[in-house]
């Protein structure tokens, strides 16, 4: 597999002098060691030489010009057409933007499988381009390519009151540029005891959502912010999931927030989760999501889920039972209270996930429902999800590109699965059943004949009718 590294990763990996050594040199060295062990190729982009040439320190510039020669160069790298630049509003304002675009183009056009970068702007634009799962931070790459020595912190999501916030956290400095009165506003939030979701990382907040209850069963996400130090796709997904669950818990009919038009990646992210533009407030767009579904809809099952989910699903579709061992389930759905006591984990559920196995079932399609059945001692259906995309492949590289950062497996595990032909399912998590369905009931209702050993499509008509009603919550 071909892996492209950004200049910021090269600089961390190749300090010119001892006083240029950065704190995460050990992490990058470990990452490169693992990538080389797996026999992947590490490339730099031809534009890296432009960035090195612009260094004002002559000694450092000369040394880095020599150090970069030991890396493979992505010759004749693809670039974005004007059509793509127009479509995603990526027209560069300066040379730095041009280089960022060229790195993303290499991933977008599949010249490389993954890009590793710590550049927040690149991560944000990757969301809009639909390649977020193949643009990795150092921490994400360490996990995906199989950590060998480092143990990294797993982010924790907490629901707190606004008065419990550390308003000296750097994430608030990032908000002040857009909202000059933010400091006064946060004091108001504290006095009103507003509910807040935060994801805490290494001595700082990774992301935050401050909630405001409005009349007519509306919930406003007054602040939805992912730190410059964290990727939007991963942390925004986690944050939004909890906002949806809060809305369901409190009985809100709509969720909305206001966004400046320049926040293209955030707008794309929100629309991909069912928000739509419903007007403007001053200079900001109002993006709204309906939490109550109509009785009838002309949308496809998947479109219906995106618009009204995650707690509203179209059930008149094929349903598949997916058996999964408790330990794998606890990694895929770490915050489900059903398994929390057995497998405590410090982080919560996101919406977009991937499931990889060697099942031979080829009947799964976009919009189908998959019900996760915990095998072993528990023997029950516990979680409802919807299929987004499916592939069958014996290529580890194709499998890795397909699942990207969504999977619980590292590349070595994916390679082993692919040897026996892999079935990979990209899916979106809907909800956990408040009352899981035991195997005995599933057999009694003719959903299953026995405990499932592989993915099974529910074929008995009476069992399918009963199951469709039973999973509605």
The closest of 141, 87, 82, 83 to 115, measured between CA atoms, is 141
Whether the model clears a pTM of 0.75, i.e. scores above it, the answer is yes
406-441 pLDDT tens trace: 887 888 889 999 999 999 999 999 999 999 999 999
Decide if 134 contacts 106 (C-beta within 8 A): no
Q: Residue holding tokens 């700082």? A: 204
- Average pLDDT of the chain is 87
Domains in the chain and their CATH numbers?
2-144 (3.40.50.1010), 156-290 (3.40.630.30), 319-470 (2.30.130.30)
Residues 69 and 236: their CA atoms lie apart, in Å, by: 38
Centre a 10 Å sphere on the Cβ of residue 120 and count the other Cβ atoms it contains.
Answer: 18
234: β partners: none
53-98 pLDDT tens trace: 888 888 888 888 898 999 999 999 999 999 999 988 889 989 999 9
The DSSP string of 180-228 is: TTHHHHHHHHHHTT-EEEEEE-SSSEEEEEEEEEETTTEEEEEEEEE-T
Residues 32 and 410: their CA atoms lie apart, in Å, by: 15
Decide if 338 contacts 436 (C-beta within 8 A): yes
Residues 128 and 232: their CA atoms lie apart, in Å, by: 11
319: β partners: 369
Residues 241 and 266: their CA atoms lie apart, in Å, by: 15
Q: How far is CA 260 from the centre of its chain?
A: 22
Q: Looking at the predicted structure, is the pLDDT value of residue 239 above 90?
A: no
Residues 276 and 256: their CA atoms lie apart, in Å, by: 9
pLDDT of residue 460: 94
104-159 pLDDT tens trace: 999 999 999 999 998 888 988 888 888 888 999 888 888 888 754 444 445 568 89
> Which structure tokens are listed for 363?
């009947």
DSSP assignment letter at 376: T
285-343 pLDDT tens trace: 999 999 999 988 999 999 999 999 999 999 999 999 999 988 888 888 876 544 443 33
Mean pLDDT along residues 358-386: 91
Residues 137 and 226: their CA atoms lie apart, in Å, by: 14
Contacts of 214 (CB under 8 A, 6+ apart): 220
Decide if 291 contacts 252 (C-beta within 8 A): yes
């Amino acid at each position: 597999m071909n892996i492209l590294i950004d200049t910021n990763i090269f600089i961390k990996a190749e300090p010119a002098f001892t006083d240029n050594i950065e704190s995460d040199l050990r992490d990058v060295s470990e990452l490169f060691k693992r990538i080389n062990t797996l026999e992947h190729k590490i490339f730099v982009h031809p534009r890296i030489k432009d960035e090195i040439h612009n260094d004002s320190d002559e000694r450092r510039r000369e040394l880095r010009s020599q150090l970069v020669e030991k890396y493979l160069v992505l010759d004749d790298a693809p670039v974005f057409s004007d059509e793509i630049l127009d479509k995603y509003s990526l027209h560069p304002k300066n040379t730095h933007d041009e280089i960022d675009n060229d790195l993303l183009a290499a991933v977008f056009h599949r010249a490389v499988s993954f890009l590793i970068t710590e550049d927040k702007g690149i991560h944000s634009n990757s969301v809009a381009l639909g390649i977020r799962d193949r643009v990795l931070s150092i921490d994400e790459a360490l996990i995906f390519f199989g950590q060998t020595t480092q143990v990294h912190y797993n982010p924790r999501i907490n629901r707190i009151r606004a008065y419990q916030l550390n308003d000296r956290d750097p994430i608030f400095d990032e908000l002040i540029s857009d909202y000059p009165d933010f400091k006064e506003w946060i004091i108001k939030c504290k006095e009103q005891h507003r509910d807040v979701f935060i994801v805490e990382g290494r001595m700082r907040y990774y992301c935050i959502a401050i909630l405001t209850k409005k009349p007519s069963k509306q919930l406003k996400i007054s602040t939805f912010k992912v730190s410059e130090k964290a990727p939007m796709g991963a942390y925004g997904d986690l944050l939004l999931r909890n906002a949806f669950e809060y809305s369901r818990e409190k009985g809100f009919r709509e969720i909305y927030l206001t966004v400046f038009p320049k926040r293209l990646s955030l707008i794309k992210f929100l629309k991909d989760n069912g928000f739509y533009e419903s007007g403007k407030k001053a200079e900001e767009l109002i993006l709204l999501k309906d939490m109550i579904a109509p009785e009838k809809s002309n949308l496809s099952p998947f479109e219906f889920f995106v618009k009204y989910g995650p707690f509203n699903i179209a059930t008149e579709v094929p349903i598949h039972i997916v058996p999964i061992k408790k330990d794998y389930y606890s990694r895929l759905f770490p915050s489900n209270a059903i398994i929390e006591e057995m497998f405590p984990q410090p982080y919560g559920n996101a919406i977009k996930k991937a499931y990889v196995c060697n099942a031979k079932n080829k009947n799964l399609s976009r919009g189908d429902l998959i019900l996760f059945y915990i095998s072993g001692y528990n023997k029950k259906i516990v979680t409802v999800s919807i299929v987004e995309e499916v592939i069958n492949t014996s290529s580890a590289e194709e499998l890795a590109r397909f699942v990207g950062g969504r999977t619980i497996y590292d590349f070595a595990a994916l390679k082993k699965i692919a040897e026996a032909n892999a079935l990979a399912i990209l899916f979106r998590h809907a909800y956990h059943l408040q009352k899981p369905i035991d195997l005995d009931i599933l057999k009694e209702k003719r959903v299953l004949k026995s405990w499932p050993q592989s993915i099974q499509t529910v074929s008995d008509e009476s069992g399918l009718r009963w199951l469709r009603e039973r999973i509605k919550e």
